[in-house]
Amino acid sequence: MKAIETALEGCFIIEPKIIGDSRGYFFESFNESNFAEAIKQEVHFVQDNQSFSSYGVLRGLHAQAGEYAQAKLVRVLQGEVLDVTVDFRRDSPTYLQHVSVVLSAENKRQLFVPRGFLHGFLVLSQTAEFFYKCDNFYNKDAEIGVKFDDPTLAIDWKIALDELIISEKDQILPYLNQLDR
Q: Which residues are catalytic?
A: 62, 132
Q: Which long-range contacts (CB under 8 A, 24 or more apart) does 86-92 make?
A: 86/61, 86/117, 86/118, 86/119, 86/146, 86/153, 86/155, 87/8, 87/9, 87/11, 87/116, 87/117, 88/63, 88/116, 88/117, 88/118, 88/146, 89/116, 89/117, 90/181, 92/8, 92/9, 92/116
Q: What does the radius of gyration of the chain's CA atoms come to, in whole angstroms? A: 16
